Amino acid sequence: MLTSPHPRLLPWTEALLPAWEALNRDPLVAQWLGGAMDDARSRATFDRVVSGLADNGWGVWAVLDEAGEAVGAAGLHRLDGEFGVEGVEAIWRLRTGAVGRGLVSGVMPSLLADGFSRLPIDEIVAFTARSNVRSQAVMQRLGFSRDAGRDFDHPGLALDHPLRPHVMYCLARSQEGQDR
C-alpha cells in the first residue's frame, strides 16, 4: 500500500484525472510550462506519475486544499539527463486560486525528508525560468540555495523564448530539515 508522507497529499488515481487535466490547462501553470498541455500529453504525464508512485513509493502527489480538493501536484522526479541535469528534482504546480496559501511550503518539507530517507542521493535540485520569482521564493523558503554555476537554457525552447533561461537551486542532504 502506498503511504503518503503528508496528510495533504494523495496518490493520483483515475478519479483525480480531471483535476490533473485542469491543472495542466490552468493559465497560471501553463505560463511557466510554455503553454497548456493538450489532452494527449496531459494523459501521458498522468500515466507516468501514477506508475511512478506505484512502482517506487515516491514521486509526484496530488496536493489537497483545506476542503480536500486536489488543486495541485508536488513531489520528486528523477531526472535522467533531460535539460542536461541528472539527479532528483523537487517539483510543484498549483492551480489559480491555490497559490499563495502555503500549500507547497506545507507539503514539500515532508516530501524532501522522505526523498532523503529513501534515496541514496546527496542533493535534491529545483529549477525554474529565471523570470519565475515566485517559485524561486518558495525554493528559498524550503532551504534551497542558488547554484548560479549550474543555470542553463532550456533545450526544448527556442533561443529567443522568454522562458529559456533557467536558474538552478540545490538542497544538500546536510541542509535538509534545517531552518524550515
pLDDT at res. 171: 97
* pLDDT tens string 92-117: 999 999 998 999 999 999 999 999 99
The parent domain of residue 159 ranges over: 9-172
Q: Which is nearest to 115 in space by CA: 134, 136, 149, 88?
A: 88
Asked if 78 contacts 142 with a C-beta cutoff of 8 angstroms, the reply is no
89 has which bridge partners?
77, 125
Amino acid found at 9: L
pLDDT band at 175 (very low <50, low <70, confident <90, very high): low
* pLDDT tens string 108-144: 999 999 999 999 999 999 999 999 999 999 999 999 9
Task: Name the pTM for this structure.
Answer: 0.90
pLDDT at res. 43: 95
How large is the C-alpha radius of gyration of the chain? 15
Inside any domain, residue 29: yes
Asked if 89 contacts 55 with a C-beta cutoff of 8 angstroms, the reply is no
Helix/strand/coil for 72: strand
* pLDDT tens string 21-65: 999 999 888 888 778 888 899 999 999 999 999 999 999 999 999
The beta strands (E) that lie in 28-142 are given as 60-64, 70-80, 86-94, 123-129
Domain with residue 139: its CATH number is 3.40.630.30
Inside any domain, residue 1: no
**127: phi then psi, degrees, rounded to nearest 5:** -145, 160
Domain count, the chain: 1
Inside any domain, residue 3: no
